[in-house]
Amino acid sequence: MDFTFPEDVRHFRSELRNFLDKAWPPDMRRFAMNDSVVRDLDSDPATSFKRALGRAGYLGIGLPQEYGGRPGGTLHRFVLQSELAAAGAPLNATAIGIVAPMLVRYGQESLTRQLVPGITRGELDFALGYTESNAGSDLASLQTQARLDGDRYVISGEKVFSTAAHIADYYWVAARTEKTDKKHQGISLFVVPLDAPGISISPLYTMSGIRTNVVHIDNVEVPVDHRVGDEGEGWRIIGEALDGERFAVMMVAPVIRAYQAVLEYCRCATRAGKRLLDDHAVASELVVLHSAIVAAYLNSVGIAWGTDRGESGSHDASALKVEVTELRLALSTFALDVLGTHGQLTPEDKAAPAFGELERMYRHAVITLFTGGANAVQRDLIARHGLGLGRQM
């Protein structure tokens, strides 16, 4: 297989790199790692950068031009997210990777025209309202209710682990509109303004230090045209959109950046008068990790290419999600073993190797095993939809 990008994708990557050199230069990339700009999406640098991306047309890839989009496919989006990740640049991918494509495909025209241009300009952000206390990996067990009352829906429930809900403008909410025998049925999707009466947001911090939120939805009213798709069609749309979320989670670029930091540390650091890189056990593990990273990168390119050609299925996204997130955990575990006590220094400590990125990566790596669907569930999807086997859980 020829993994060379087509000419238009190579041109796009060159154009994007030139943009990043000016809009997110190397000094900002160091600042991002050391001062957590990537985690603080409401910071001034992150907000300015997001709007610069919008002005340059990078937030509307593959969307109709009437909504501020530009031509491009999955390979272009892959290059965008990879280059941003490699540069340590901030991006909340929910709006551009999940919401905008689904609104264009399934949203009512009035709502699509109201929201998508703001997304492509970098002016509007969304948070996901899927997970509940008893509906995480088993999302179909969600209990949030949406009741039709005339020309409006009244929504009530509680969502957890809603990243960016405290800074986003809108909430992409899955709610039950009908009680059915099969729990995957009767679920619908809604767009809810996060400043609507009845919305209250409380912080919920993860072990990585990233803030997520508990969102209480108390009899919140939204117009009928804020429903996305038909009633009961939510589960199918969620499944389609989750492939986009998994593609964001499984970006290899942050793993490559972390690997390079570990490799550089092993080149420079000494132990018992010998470079770490000259230690056979260390060098052997670095070779194994390098091979795994190359394989994951080639797999991700192949899936992006296959998606544009209609040849990749959702089980491929699941497989790559498992591969990359477990590789991220393996690399960060190895990194902290090699760094020893220095590996425990957080990004706030100026003496931390690689600006503390490796320590933060270790704490975040555990979370990615569950983000976008737990890896155990992904293996079940791979078994059933990819290999034609029976349910494994």
At 64, is the secondary structure helix, strand, or coil?
coil
For 353, the token pair is: 């190797």
Catalytic residue among 83, 132, 245, 285: 245
- Torsions phi, psi for 265 (to 5 deg): -60, -45
The pair of structure tokens assigned to 11 is 């041109």
Rounded distance between C-alpha atoms, residue 33 and residue 36, angstroms: 6
Residue pair 331/258 in contact by the 8 Å Cβ criterion? yes
What are the respective helix, strand and coil percentages of the chain, to the nearest 5? 55, 15, 30
At 58 the three-state DSSP class reads: coil
Q: How far is CA 344 from CA 271, 339, 341, 352, 358, in A?
A: 18, 8, 6, 8, 9
Residue pointed to by tokens 């990243």:
163
| DSSP H helices in 226-279 | 234-249, 253-268
245 tagged catalytic:
yes
- Round to whole Å and give the CA distance between 328 and 83: 18
Q: Which residues contact 65 (CB under 8 A, 6 or more apart)?
A: none
State how far the Cα of 247 lies from the Cα of 372, in Å rounded to an integer.
9
178: left (phi over 0), alpha (psi -120 to 50) or beta: beta
What's the one-letter identity of residue 276? L
Q: How far apart are CA 210 and CA 366, in angstroms?
A: 13
Return d(Cα 314, Cα 112) in angstroms, integer. 25
Spatial CA neighbour of 88 closest among 304, 357, 349, 345: 357
Closest by Cα among 70, 67, 91 to 15: 70
Q: Which residues are catalytic?
A: 245
